[in-house]
Amino acid sequence: TQLLEQSPQFLSIQEGENLTVYCNSSSVFSSLQWYRQEPGEGPVLLVTVVTGGEVKKLKRLTFQFGDARKDSSLHITAAQPGDTGLYLCAGAWRGNKLVFGAGTILRVKS
Amino acid sequence: NAGVMQNPRHLVRRRGQEARLRCSPMKGHSHVYWYRQLPEEGLKFMVYLQKENIIDESGMPKERFSAEFPKEGPSILRIQQVVRGDSAAYFCASSETGYGYTFGSGTRLTVV
């Protein structure tokens, strides 16, 4: 069974602070995706990383894929209340099937 | 171009009834996936379908659950004789190539 462990499970910070969410596995994935999910809605894809060591930036969000393609991190700079939500990492397994982590609930207080 | 459409958004069923969840993929997408999400948990893969074919159903319980994606019409996830443990949010996703999912807003099933 392929497992993706996310940490922390819950994060409550003040507006303007920085944070990092981690996604770790003992398995190698062909690609890794990060999603953001708001209450009552489906996950929305933020980014896909494919190459070991890859770094992608999306405004204040920086995503990194580990060299061995087993782990990833999401760093948010100067968090804002609008960043509040559930952040999910998902590894692509055997091409099409995604294995999801349990998620990190982020709350940014103004 | 509408996104992935799921209906109903909320479904309440009594124990023993049948639940039918519908998913219309994005236009041009022939790959459909169903996932289940329990409260404050990540999504668990259930089944992957292409038109008229089940490609991978390794995440689907062997009994009471079935899925189809007919040539015409939406994909259907069917749960027979529902039990309280089936209460969850069920999400459908579609893709054009088998990569790069777009998720629907989900169906929240409550079994009373």
Put simply, whether A50 touches B (Cβ < 8 Å) is no
- Chain A contacts of B4, Cβ < 8 Å? 42
Q: Which residues of chain B have pLDDT under 70?
A: 1-2, 40, 98-99
Binary contact (A40, B105; C-beta < 8 A): yes
Q: What is the pLDDT of residue A88?
A: 95
In angstroms, the CA A14 to CA A78 distance is 9
The pLDDT tens digits of the residues spanning A12-29 come to: 999 999 999 999 998 888
In chain B, the DSSP E strands lie at 5-7, 10-13, 19-24, 31-37, 43-50, 53-56, 65-68, 75-79, 88-95, 102-103, 107-111
Higher-pLDDT residue of A1, A106: A106
Q: What is the pLDDT of residue A27?
A: 87
CB of B23 within 8 A of CB of B102? no
Q: How far is CA A25 from the centre of its chain?
A: 13
pLDDT class of A1 with cuts at 50, 70, 90: low
* Distance between A95 CA and the closest CA of chain B, angstroms: 8
